[in-house]
């Protein structure tokens, strides 16, 4: 991957025309490509039915989303950032060009975790919402530490939520008598 001028990092920018217009994104994409001859930017509007297969292939659940591809077409990284975040885009593009991304061991770990999550029940909309966000954060992780931190963050949030609900339960029991509120 190193040394040849023909190799480019492909950047796929997923956006919604409900929030951003192609017209406003084109100057940003052109500026990035002029500044960095080693990247090529593709703008993909998720609202366009013709792009449905792409959005499904790259597991796009929210926008904006930047997907970085190696010159061979492998997903190197993905980040929920705007196209205007040039410093992050350049930093990740540099990592891809140096061969620091993707990290096969991290990608294998992400695949195993995400596959295992399929067996976890999602009994309500809140669980589904949290699960979707955990999966998205794992997909965006570029290191084992980032995966651990993402999962640990949600475990902490859920534990704090349970403690808060226990407090609500005590308040309700105080005013409603002994009730068996399930938490």
Largest separation between any pair of C-alpha atoms in the chain: 75
In the predicted model, is pLDDT for residue 5 greater than 70? no
In whole angstroms, give the CA distance from residue 20 to residue 138. 26
Q: Which of 98, 113, 129 is the last residue of a domain?
A: 98
pLDDT band for 57, please (50, 70, 90 cuts).
Answer: very high
Q: Which of 78, 98, 118 is the last residue of a domain?
A: 98
CB 72 within 8 A of CB 104: no
Query: In sequence order, what are the beta bridge partners of 66?
Result: 13, 79
Q: Where are the beta strands (DSSP E) in 59-158?
A: 65-69, 75-79
In the predicted model, is pLDDT for residue 1 greater than 50? no
Angle, alpha carbons 92-146-39 (nearest 5°): 10
Same domain, yes or no, for 127 and 50? no
Q: Which of 72, 98, 124 is the last residue of a domain?
A: 98
Q: For the segment 135-157, what is each residue's pLDDT rounded down to a tens digit?
A: 999 999 999 999 999 999 999 99
Per the domain annotation, does 182 fall within a domain? no
Q: For the segment 100-143, what is each residue's pLDDT rounded down to a tens digit?
A: 999 999 999 999 999 999 999 999 999 999 999 999 999 999 99
In whole angstroms, give the CA distance from residue 17 to residue 178. 53
Per the domain annotation, does 1 fall within a domain? no
Q: Tell me the pTM.
A: 0.86
CB 54 within 8 A of CB 44: yes
- Helix then strand count (H, E) for the chain reads 6, 4
In whole angstroms, give the CA distance from residue 163 to residue 81. 33
Same domain, yes or no, for 69 and 132? no
Q: What is the dihedral of CA 86, 88, 89, 92, to 10 degrees?
A: 150
- What mean pLDDT do residues 10-27 have? 98
């Amino acid at each position: 991957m190193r040394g040849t001028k023909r190799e480019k990092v492909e950047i796929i920018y997923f956006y919604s025309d409900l929030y951003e217009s192609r017209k406003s994104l084109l100057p940003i994409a052109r500026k990035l490509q002029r500044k960095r001859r080693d990247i090529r930017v593709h703008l993909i509007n998720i609202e366009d039915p013709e792009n449905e297969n792409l959005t499904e292939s790259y597991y796009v659940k929210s926008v904006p989303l930047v997907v970085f591809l190696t010159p061979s077409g492998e997903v190197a990284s993905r980040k929920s950032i705007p196209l205007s975040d040039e410093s992050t885009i350049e930093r990740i593009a540099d990592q891809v060009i140096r061969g620091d991304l993707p990290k096969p061991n991290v990608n294998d770990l992400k695949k195993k975790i995400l596959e295992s999550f399929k067996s976890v029940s999602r009994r309500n909309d809140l669980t589904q919402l949290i699960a979707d966000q955990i999966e998205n954060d794992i997909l965006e992780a570029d290191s084992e530490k980032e995966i651990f931190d993402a999962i640990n963050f949600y475990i902490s949030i859920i534990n704090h939520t349970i403690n808060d609900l226990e407090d609500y339960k005590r308040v309700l029991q105080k005013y409603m008598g002994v009730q068996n509120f399930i938490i």
